[in-house]
Structure 1
Amino acid sequence: MTQRMTYAGHARALLALGLPLVGGHLAQFAIGLTDSVMLGWYGVEALAAVTLAAGYFFVLFLTGAGFGWAVMPMVAAAVAEGDEVSARRATRMGLWLSLLFAAIAMPLLWWAEPILRSMGQAAEVSADAAHYLRISGWGLFPALLVVVLKSYLAALERTQVVLWITVLAAVINAGANYLLIFGHGGLPALGIRGAALASLVTQAISLLAVWVYVLRALPEQELFRRFWRPDWEMFAQVFRLGVPIGLTSLSEVTLFTASSLMMGWLGTVPLAAHGIALQLSSATFMVHMGLSNAATVRAGNAYGRGDRAHMARGAAVVVAISLALALLASALFLLWPEGLIALFLDPHDPQRAEILAIGVGLLAAAALFQLVDGGQVVALGLLHGVQDTSMPMVIAALSYWAVGLPASYLLGFTFGMGGIGIWLGLVAGLACAAVLLMLRFWRQGLRRVAAAV
């Protein structure tokens, strides 16, 4: 590829790389969505508990995934430079750091109940969430390793296999949920524990699949040879890049977890409606996340080659595509909210009408949410591609916690707007992040790339 590639050429290249990543993220999202849908059929209390548990789990997962996501731009830049050794070294140390993080985080998953209760959650919901986390929490180990290996494959532009492995995992999870939650096939009905066990099995199978693929399809890379041997220089490099990425994700996901906690203060029914609206918004976010990953890989390649013009043109294309998709999602949320929410509910649930009424208002706020959420994650992907992670971390933390969280509380409780106010606060925080991160990339990020020849 050259710096003279047209905008149409950039769009084709971006979509060829990004669409499988989008599909992979949607398939990964389908795992959590399946838990929510089937537990919503099982009971509103179970849905509320898994909403709380999933938010808690992802606080830790996304923080630890920073090391895996750091591997993506590092490998992309190394491949552009023809340095396969550095690509292999970065991936191995990403695996090391992911295992270390999971071991440190496991006690927080095991003893989640008192932590959740200290945050003001109802005793019964906290207990059910803790039962879920004591089982599904062990999936943090394979889940983080999968992030590293998928990032490695994405940086090599082997995105089709990332998609199909994740689709396989989603299918397995759906089948396991069906059997274990409701007790089909002669198995006992385990409810929320069944959903947790299904998720754990799914994560383990995903790791096995991607591990076997790397061994068989890329034997010349010798990725796991002498895996036990430390590489402290590369360990430090991945750590320095991965910690800010993880903390940036932590800032965002804890904003959403805090919103779930605040919705829990309003009651079980508002929390269940919030969980549905959050799942729908997360589905559209996965599309932007896939584009962001593709932007990271392409920006990382341009960074490794020192091709500033190529990067600028490609960045403009990915921002335009993300904005167009956000507008489509907003229209869907505004025009068909009842139909979307109804997918998560038992038609005979006595609380169905109340959840629908609350959820329609939340989706109206989520329509605004779409326009800024895609912008901020795409900007982060571009900045990660040029290995700019520290200042974006600061921008994200300030936007989410100094703007978004106070705005959610003030609008939701001080001004009495309830759940809609909480969601409008989320919009404010994400809008701040989107504007500042975009300015960061266009004013500073491109300067990190040597002038194109």
Structure 2
Amino acid sequence: MSAPVPLPAATGVAPASARAELGELVRLAGPLVVANLLQMAVYAVDVVFVARLGEVELAAATLGVYVYSVVMWALVGMTGAAAPLIAAELGARANAVREVRRSFRMALWLTVIAAAPFLLLLANGEALLLLAGQDARVAKRADAFMDILLWAMIPAVAASVMRTAAAALGRPAYAMAVNVMALLVAVGANWLLVFGNLGFPRLGLEGSALASVLTTVAMLFAYAAILLLDRRLRRFRLFGRWWRAEWARLREIVKLGVPIALTLTFEGALFGGAGFLMGLIGVMEVAAHAVALNIAAIAFQVPFGIAQAATIRVGLGYGAGDRVWIARAGWVALGVTVGFMALTAAALLLFPRLFVSAYVDAGAAGNARLVALSVQLLLVAAMFQLFDGGQVVAAAVLRGLQDTRVPMIVALFGYWVAGFGTAVLLGFQAGWGGTGIWWGLAMGVAVVYGLLLWRWAARERLGLLPA
């Protein structure tokens, strides 16, 4: 791997033009986008191996991963509040070693503190799934799966904190390298443990869960080694005095992080709820929903990476007290996102069948209904591509201003009043079926994007800028 490029902005100097800001954004976001796509590949590996074990095992893994992911992403969002704090500290003073270390240390503390009660929840997965009306056989197997997978929770969230710190300190390319390693570990561990190759025990579904634990632990150790050995990063001595409490800083992270966690939960639950609504219509609708959502999720990794970078870029300007830098960083990130998502929307409109054929045999007569419905959903997905990418970056630039509480309220209203309400109305009352449910998703992200974009544009009038 080539040597990571330091961020000039980490010196506290704002880019002189929008073009220079674009260069800094691309240098920071590029590796994060690739890392996100590689992380999706890691998730896909588990599905590929478990799918060969049978439909009960696949259903158990799917439900188990869904419950685990909802909790994990909420915790990642909460501890991710360290990102705007670290960026603001670096923007105010390039050598803010002590302040950066405090934020990093308390984010790791919060990882352990906040995860503990959720680990108990995952340990009772069978009761949780039975309460949700799931098949008893699937619930029992999912419980065994989650009993092992829960041990990946703390390493996964802690690794995310370390990745955020490395990116904010000018080393985003490490995220890409670590995820390449994680992909190799995931493939190897699944191959050895699920089917018992090379003399290893054949553990089946439990082997896949254990492979996930080994993958996240490997990522954790890789990031720890990077933070300790990299010349630029080790001068911050991020693991120094790890036992020392900084309660004021912990409260800051919690204050910013809880709304972020809830925002991510509201959004994830909307798409999970849409899957539940699809299930009320039919099995074919669930399958088409899964295909179309997976395709949209791949495209979403680009704005998601831009959003991660945008929080840091705006946070640097916020810490420096530079309103021009703040505006430039935010608008450049939003402009790049809308431009890219316009291209993906056009591709989905023009070639929907081509994308679907990557998942199912579009020429098989038995798949005709599935392909037709998936194509219909992708045409709707093309409409909300712009809004979905825009809303995640709009939330990110506001996060850079340490504004998270109102965006949380916007997410609750947009996703669950406008979005889910429209999905129920069009899907069932109007009789549009699965297509109507997806128009509800489009409505939800469009409302959130519109309100967050207005808040960003009105940031000075709303008192969101530094004095």
Fold equivalence (TM over 0.5): yes
| Amino acid of the structure 2 residue aligned with 1:108 | L
2:294: which partner in 1? 279
- Which segment drifts farther, 161-170 or 126-135? 126-135
Residues 131 and 414 of structure 1: CA distance in aligned 2, closer, same or farther (over 3 Å) = farther
Q: CA deviation at 1:411?
A: 2.3
Q: 2:362 touches 2:371 (CA, 8 Å); kept in 1?
A: no
Letter in 1 for 2:441: L
Q: 2:207 aligns with which of 194, 200, 206?
A: 194
Greater shift, 416-425 or 60-69, is seen at 416-425
| 1:121 aligned residue | 134
Q: Structure 1 residues 214, 136: closer, same or farther in 2, change over 3 A? A: same
Aligned to 2:4: none
1:363 Cα shift? 2.0
Equivalent position of 2:190 in the other structure: 177
CA distance in 2, matches of 1:229, 1:58: 30
Give distance in 1, aligned partners of 2:42 and 2:320.
37
Whether the 8 Å CA contact 1:41–1:345 is kept in 2: the answer is no
Q: Following TM superposition, by how much is the alpha carbon of 1:333 offset from its aligned partner in structure 2, in angstroms? A: 2.7
Distance in 2, Cα, partners of 1:150 & 1:387: 20
Q: Return the offset for 1:77.
A: 0.8
Q: 1:310 aligns with which of 319, 325, 334?
A: 325
TM-score under structure 1 length normalisation = 0.91
Helix, strand or coil: the match of 1:65? helix
Indicate if the aligned counterparts of 2:307 and 2:396 stay in contact, CA closer than 8 A.
yes
Residue pair 1:269, 1:351 contacting (<8 A) in 2 also: no
1:406 to 411, 421, 424: 421
- The 3 A distance-change label for structure 1 pair 225 and 346 is farther
Q: How does 1:203-282 map to 2 (within 5 A)?
A: 203-217=216-230, 218-282=233-297
- Cα deviation digits, residues 254-291 of structure 1 (max 9, x gap): 11222222233344443333223222222221111110
1:253 & 1:412 partners in 2: Cα distance?
A: 19
**CA distance, structure 2, for counterparts of residue 341 and residue 131 of structure 1:** 33
**2:162 counterpart letter in structure 1:** L
Aligned partners of 1:66, 1:291: CA distance in 2, in Å?
16
Aligned to 2:3: none
Partner of 1:97: 110
* Pairing 1:56–2:72 present: no
Whole-Å separation in 2 of the counterparts to 1:268 and 1:180: 31
Task: Tell me, in whole angstroms, the C-alpha distance in 1 between the residues paired with 2:195 and 2:354.
Answer: 24
Cα-Cα RMSD: 2.6
Structure-2 separation of matches of 1:183 and 1:397: 46
Note if 1:448 corresponds to 2:461: no
Counterpart for residue 433 of structure 1: 448
Q: How much does 1:178 deviate? A: 3.8
Does the 8 Å contact 1:31/1:199 carry over to 2?
A: no
Whether the 8 Å contact between 2:414 and 2:445 is mirrored in structure 1 is: yes
Change (3 A) 1:3 1:92: closer
Mark the CA change 1:136 to 1:356 in structure 2 (over 3 Å): closer, same or farther.
farther
Q: Kindly tell me the number of residue pairs found equivalent between the two proteins.
A: 451
Q: Which residue number corresponds to residue 156 of structure 2?
A: 143
**Structure ranking higher on relative contact order (CA contacts 8 Å, 6+ apart):** 1
Residue deviations 1:103-139, cap 9 Å, x none? Answer: 1101221222332333343444444443432322221
Q: Of residues 397, 406, 409 in structure 2, which corresponds to 1:394?
A: 409
Post-superposition offset of 1:302: 0.3
Unaligned runs of 5+ residues in structure 1 are: none
Summarize deviations over 1:320-359 as a string: whole Å, max 9, x none: 1111211222233334434433444589999755543432
User: Relative to structure 1, is the Cα distance of residues 373 and 347 closer, same or farther in structure 2, using a 3 angstrom cutoff?
Assistant: closer
Match of 1:21 among 32, 44, 49: 32
**Contact 1:47/1:272 (<8 A) preserved:** no
Q: Distance in 2 between matches of 1:26 and 1:313?
A: 27
Q: Does 1:109 align with 2:122?
A: yes
Shift of 1:361: 2.5
The 3 A distance-change label for structure 1 pair 51 and 416 is farther
Distance 1:445 1:183 in 2: 60
* Structure 1 residue 430 displacement after superposition: 0.7
> Bigger shift: 31-40 or 313-322?
31-40
- Whole-angstrom distance in 2 between the partners of 1:434 and 1:322: 12
| Contact 2:275-2:289 within 8 A present in 1 as well | yes
For residue 81 of structure 2, give the secondary structure of its aligned residue in structure 1. helix
Deviations along 1:163-192, one digit per CA (max 9) or x if unpaired, are: 211221122213333444455445565554
| Cα deviation, residue 98, structure 1 | 1.0
* 3-state SS of paired residue (2:80): helix
Mean alpha-carbon deviation: is it higher for 434-443 or for 420-429?
420-429
Give the 3-state SS of the residue equivalent to 1:221 in structure 2: coil
Change (3 A) 1:325 1:52: farther
Match of 1:5 among 16, 32, 37: 16
Q: CA shift at 1:300, angstroms?
A: 0.5
Task: Decide whether aligned partners of structure 1 residues 309 and 162 sit closer, same or farther in structure 2, where only a CA change above 3 A counts.
Answer: same
In structure 2, stretches of 5+ residues that fail to align are: 1-8
CA contact (8 A) 1:21 1:162 kept: yes
Equivalent residue, structure 2, for 1:65: 76
Relative to structure 1, is the Cα distance of residues 190 and 370 closer, same or farther in structure 2, using a 3 angstrom cutoff? farther
Deviation at 1:19, TM superposition (A): 0.3
Kept in 1: contact 2:145–2:206 (CA 8 A): yes
User: Quick check: 1:95–1:145 contact (8 Å CA) kept in 2?
Assistant: yes
